[in-house]
Structure formats: C-alpha cells, structure tokens
Amino acid sequence: MLKFKTAILLGALLFLGSNELEAVTLPGVPATAAAEEPATPEPLVQGGLLGAISSSIDDVQEKLDLNENLVDAWRLRADRAADEVDKLVNRPSSRSGWSVIGDFMMLSGVWLGSFALLTVLGAILAKRLNQGRWLRTRQRSQDLLNYVMPYTLPAVICLPLTLYVSHFLPASVGRALALCFAYATSSGIFSTSVLLCVIVMFNTGHKRTAVRIIRDFCPKPLFLIGFLAALSDALTSPQIARQLGGNITSSAAVLSGFFVSIIFGLLVIRLRRPVAHLIRNRPLAQRLKQPSLQESLRIFSGLWYWPILLMVIVSAINLIGVGDDNQKALRCALFTTILLIATVFLSTIFQHMFKSRQVEAIQHSSAYKERFLSLLHALLRIVMAVAFIEILGRIWGVSLFKFAEQNSVGRAISDSLSSMGLIFLVTWLLWVVLDTAIQEALKPPVNKRTTQPSTRVKTILPLLRNAIKIILVVICAITTMANLGINVAPLLAGAGVVGLAIGFGSQQLVQDVITGLFIIIEDTLSIGDWVVLDSGHAGTVEGLTIRTLRLRDGKGFVHSVPFGQIKAVTNQSRQFAYAFFSVQFTYDTDVDKAIELIREAGDSIRDDAFLKYNLQGPLDVFGVDKMDLNGVVLTAQFRTVSGGQYAVSRAFNQRLKKLVDNSPWVHFAQTYPQQVLMPQRVMEEEGGPVAENSPVLLPDQPRTQ
C-alpha cells in the first residue's frame, strides 16, 4: 500500500512538472471524465513583439524563486566549520600543543633550508654557465637558466624531500598544515618560474618591451595564483580533511579558489595589451607572406582575454555556490571558450574570402557583384551570430528554437522578429539594386566606348535616389512599428490630415513642387546649363531641389529662385550655339578684300589647337547684310558647341582686327567730330550776330569716313 501511494505521489509530481503531458488519469477518476475536462487554454499573446516581450518578462518574474537557499547553505557550512574548529581545539590528545607546533616548524624548516641551499647553489651554477662562450651571446638562454636553476629545480626537489621527512613524524595538525604550505609554496614557485620561462622565449625583436612589462609585473601575482590554487587543492585531499575537518578544509578551499579567480582576472585585464602585442607582432616578411594569418592573429589578439575572463567568472560563481555542478559549469565554460575562438577564426576566414572576391569584382568593374558580396557577407555574419547564440544556449542548457516552438510567447517573438528581418532584408535588397543602378548610371566613362552621362541624367537621378531612400525608409519604419505592436492606423490618418492641411495652407509650395517636377521631366534645364530666366536672373545651374533652382551668375553670386516664379527659361547650353559676327566697314572699303580677311580669320580659328574643338562646322559668310549712313555691314557665323561661342567670338574679333590693321584696302567704319558750314540766314534765325558772307563752324558733328 505504501508503494502504491508513493507511485501516485510521483505521478502527480511528474504531471505538475512536465510540459509535455497534457492530461493524467488518477485512481478513482474515470478516464472519460479526465478527458472531458477542458484543457487550460494557451494564453494568447497580443501587441506584437513588445507585447510578447512584456508577457515573457512577467512570466519570468512569476517563475523566479528568489529564496535564500545560497545564504542558508553558507550559514550552515559556517556553523559546521565552527563546530569542527571547536572539536579540533578540544580534542583530547596524547601530545601537547607545543609538539604539534614543533612538527610544523620542523617540516617548514626542512623545506626552507633545502630550498635556500639549492637556490644559492643554482644561482652560482647559472652564473658560471652563463659566462661560457656558447651562452654569452644568447640572452634568452641566459634568462632561462636564471629561472630554471635557482627556482624551478629547487622547488621540484624540496617538496619530495619534505614529504620523505614527514614520514618520520606522527600524524598531527601541525604536520598536515606544514605539508599543505610546502606543497602550495613549491607549486607557486614552480608555476611562476615555468611561465616566466615561456615568456622569455618571446624576448626578441619588437617584443622585448612587452616581455619586459610582463616580467616586471607577473612574478608576485603568478606566485599568489599558484600558491592559493595548490593550497585549495591540498585542503580538499582526504588526508588533510581527516586531520582538520571536512567543512573547514572545504570552506578554506572555496575561499582560496575564489581569491585565485579574482587575482587571475585582474592579471589578465592588466596584461591584455602586452600579451596582444606578443600575439600579433611578427616579422615583416611573415606578415607580408601570410596576410590572412596576420589578420586572424590581429583579431585574436583583441579578443584573447574574453574567453579567459568568462571562465574566471563562471568558476568564481560556481565556487560560491554549494551545489555539485562545479565540474559541469567548468566544462560548459571550456566549451564556450572553444566556441568563441572557433567563431572568431571562422569569421576571419569568411572576411578574407569575401574581401578577395570583392577585390576581384572591383578589378573587373562589377559593381553589382561587389555590392551583393557585401550583402551576402553581412547576412552570413548575422547567421553566424544566431548560430553562436543558439549553440551557446545549448551548451548551458537553453535553446532559443525550442523556446520559439514550444511556447506561445516564444512563437510570438519569433514571428515578429522573422517578419521584421524579412522586411529589412527586402528593403536592403531593393536599396542595393536601385542605388547600384543609379551609381552606375552616374559613373563617368572609363574608356572611349562608354558614353558620358547626360546632364539630364545627372539632374534627375540624384533626386530620384533621395526619393527612393525616403520611400523605403518610411515603408520599412511603418511595417516595423506594426510588427512591434504599435497601432499605425492613427499615425497614417494623422499623416494624411497633416498632408491635406499643408496642401491647402501652402499652395505656393505645392505650385513650386509641381512646376519644378514638370521642368525636370521636360528636361528644360539641367545642372551645368547657362540659363536666363524671365525674372532677370541668369547664370549656371548649380543645383536643383524639389522647390528651388540655384544659379550662380557671372560675378559669382548665387541666386535661389522658386520654380513657381519661373515662366520662361532661355537655355543657352543645349546641343549647339552660333558665334555671330556683324562687322561694319567704310564705303571706300573693297568688299571682296574684307570678305577674304573674314575668311582668313575664320581659317586661323579652325587651325587653332584649342579653339577647333569648339567648332561644329566651317565659317558661313553671309556677305553684305545692310548699308546705312555709317557704312557697309558684313555678317558671318560659326556653329559651335554650347558655351563655346564666347571664346570663338573673342578670338575672331582679335584676329580680324589685326588683319584689317595690316590691310590698306579695308577700313572699319568710325565716327569722329567735324566742322560743318552753315548759311548766314540760319544763324540770323537763331538770333546771333554774324558778319556778312562769313561761314559758321558747328563742332561735334559726326562724320563717317
């Protein structure tokens, strides 16, 4: 009957603690009744990702058991240790306390005496060996002997000698303590000297400074670490525990191990830079020959101390705990360290692989391939981060995928995160494709077979790129907020109302935007064009926005003109222009000679090394255009590229002036003051006294020659 009740109790406990059982049939209760009981509905998670996170936090807070088990366990251990100390002090013994102290002093003296003697002999021997011809020029070998002979060998020899002497003494507390301290001191000296010997092996080249810093700072902390670690190990041995008491030795071992963790962590933090320098500093030839390995070492040198600190923290936490899971925790910490190092090296390999592929894409002028490789590298790093978190969780007994599959909160969080990730990925892909296409269209030609992008393309595509960026960001932000559980309907309605209010209240702004849109679409003007507006502004187009046009005139001043104020545009920079010449000569000029001089001036421009690229055809001489009181007007013109008519006109005028000056048959028409004779009766009508039959001179009358 007792076994039957026990089985029922165990079944009930399994029912309460298992997440996989949905129902259970108890004795005395029909199976149908148990099946008819409605199962507890799984809580629905609302509110998107934020609501799921809030529900999970509440669930964790409900399930957390913040009791004082740890404090109670340590209080119990301290009480038991106090009882053992009391029993140890009051234990009846055939030997006196002085004899116990004598055992301690004797064994300690044996160890100290032998160690001092061997240290002196080792130092003398190392000094004499270093003076030899072979070691005189080898500094690292001398340093190794200076550590091995005076410290390493004496520490190894003294401990067995002390153990041998201890066999002649009876078992006592003094003997046990002396052996503990001898073992701990020998271990501290031995571990310190061995580690310093390893560090000395790096004492070469540019690593000397780092080695000197480590050798100056490390001996004392390393000795304390080795001493306390060996003391903790010695106190947990059964022989020492029987002499001193199990709770006393375990408590002292835990405290020693805890102090070891603290000192070791501080030492790692203090030496992170010198050790990093030792890891990554290699000869120049090796760095150039193996760049991938050098990059891996560089990354590892910046991360080497994090796994060690992780193990130190885990060890310290598990030392404070009183459970029996210390070995499991240390094993998990070791696996975590291996996982972190493997992830770092794998990430470095992927980085070099994609970097080499991107260099090849750049050399082959494949912008799409380069951008997609960058995107693929980023996605691969994200996948590696997720895999690292999942494997790390499985090492410590937690699985994110199981949480997402078996828990409603986990499913809600995973669905929201997957939707947001898909939105970001699609937005990113669209932006990469469109931005790459725009950048390729705006890229200047690399050879003669590719065409130069037009000014219209240079004007429209930057505006289109900014518009696409704004649209993608807005859409991504709205969908992300919706997946976070934020109600975006009021936001969209408010944005519509605000847009409508702006449209009614800013009609001039809307007019500017619409007018500018049609000006850009119709290709009325582009960046770099010289335009004259009906408002009186003229200059080179330097920039376009959705509302204004920015011009820089000939004096360097910048004018910003809203598109709504533009009614007519005179663009002087489209396709071609004409350099028109109108020259006036006197009536006594030989017209044929004048036309020859005009053609000669035109031919000199066509032969000019710089001006000929502005011409799009030969000089057209139209001949005599008109005749007036001042003389004969001859006209001609060059067809030039847009903007080149000014340089051609100035050069033509200069050359024609020189040719006319050297020609006796051709003269430019000109005006100058001359004296004019007027009749006497005209002066009398003007009311002035004049002599009879005398001529009247009127100055400042023009005369054409």
Extract the tokens encoding 367.
């912008």
Distance, in Å, from the CA atom of 363 to the CA atom of 121, rounded to the nearest integer, reads 68
Q: Answer yes or no: are the C-beta atoms of 281 and 205 closer than 8 Å.
A: yes
To 5 degrees, how large is the angle CA 275–CA 278–CA 279? 90
Give the residue among 221, 305, 220 at the shortest CA–CA distance from 269: 305
Extract the tokens encoding 437.
């296409």
pLDDT reported for residue 86? 63
Extract the tokens encoding 52.
């799921």
Strand duo 569-571 + 620-628: pairing: unpaired
**CA-CA distances (angstroms) from residue 632 to 6, 149, 587, 666?**
132, 117, 6, 11
pLDDT reported for residue 248? 73
Rg of the Cα atoms in the chain: 49
pLDDT reported for residue 9? 36
Distance, in Å, from the CA atom of 395 to the CA atom of 329, rounded to the nearest integer, reads 10
Q: Which residues contact 420 (CB under 8 A, 6 or more apart)?
A: 49, 480, 483, 484
Give the residue among 435, 662, 643 at the shortest CA–CA distance from 541: 643
Q: Specify the amino acid at residue 89.
A: V
Distance, in Å, from the CA atom of 244 to the CA atom of 85, rounded to the nearest integer, reads 8
To 5 degrees, how large is the angle CA 539–CA 542–CA 548? 90
Predicted model pTM: 0.45
Distance, in Å, from the CA atom of 473 to the CA atom of 479, rounded to the nearest integer, reads 10
Extract the tokens encoding 517.
């849109």
449-457 contacts, C-beta under 8 A, 24 or more apart: 454/526, 455/526, 455/527, 455/528, 455/529, 456/523, 456/526
Q: Answer yes or no: are the C-beta atoms of 309 and 337 closer than 8 Å.
A: no
Extract the tokens encoding 476.
């991504």
Distance, in Å, from the CA atom of 222 to the CA atom of 270, rounded to the nearest integer, reads 13
For residue range 578-637, list pLDDT tens digits in order: 889 999 999 888 899 999 999 999 889 888 888 888 888 888 999 899 998 888 999 999
To 5 degrees, how large is the angle CA 506–CA 512–CA 514? 105
Paired with 29 in beta bridges are: none
Extract the tokens encoding 95.
């030997």
Paired with 531 in beta bridges are: 539, 571
State the residue for tokens 């559980």: 485
Q: What's the CATH number for 522-571? A: 2.30.30.60
Half-sphere exposure of 526 (CA within 13 A, CB side): 16
Distance, in Å, from the CA atom of 295 to the CA atom of 229, rounded to the nearest integer, reads 36
Distance, in Å, from the CA atom of 608 to the CA atom of 63, rounded to the nearest integer, reads 92
Give the residue among 197, 158, 153, 198 at the shortest CA–CA distance from 178: 158
Three-state SS string across 186-220, please? HHHHHHHHHHHHHHHCCCCHHHHHHHHHHHHHCHH
For the chain, the residue count is 705
pLDDT beneath 70: ranges in the chain: 1-81, 83-97, 239-246, 292-293, 318, 320-334, 337, 341, 344-345, 348-349, 351-352, 354-366, 404, 407, 409-410, 444-456, 459, 502-506, 671-705
DSSP character at residue 149: I
DSSP character at residue 664: S
Give the residue among 601, 613, 586 at the shortest CA–CA distance from 655: 601
Domain locations in the chain? 73-85+97-323, 522-571, 577-662
Buried b / exposed e along 570-599 (16+ C-beta atoms within 10 A):
ebebeeebebebebbbbeebeeeebbbbbe
Distance, in Å, from the CA atom of 638 to the CA atom of 648, rounded to the nearest integer, reads 8
Q: Answer yes or no: are the C-beta atoms of 578 and 641 closer than 8 Å.
A: no
pLDDT reported for residue 632? 92
**CA-CA distances (angstroms) from residue 131 to 118, 125, 126, 127, 141?**
20, 10, 9, 7, 12
Distance, in Å, from the CA atom of 656 to the CA atom of 443, rounded to the nearest integer, reads 43
State the residue for tokens 């008819």: 36
Angle between helical axes of 326-363 and 305-320 (0-180°, round to 10):
160
Extract the tokens encoding 260.
């070891």
| 3-state SS assignment for residue 704 | strand
Distance, in Å, from the CA atom of 121 to the CA atom of 533, rounded to the nearest integer, reads 102
> Which CATH architecture fits 577-662?
2-Layer Sandwich (3.30)
Paired with 626 in beta bridges are: 633
Chain-centre distance for alpha carbon 655: 62
For residue range 525-542, list pLDDT tens digits in order: 878 888 888 888 888 888
CB atoms under 10 Å from CB of 705, counted, come to 12
Distance, in Å, from the CA atom of 221 to the CA atom of 264, rounded to the nearest integer, reads 8
Q: Answer yes or no: are the C-beta atoms of 488 and 481 closer than 8 Å.
A: yes
Paired with 532 in beta bridges are: 538, 570
Chain-centre distance for alpha carbon 385: 16
Paired with 584 in beta bridges are: 633
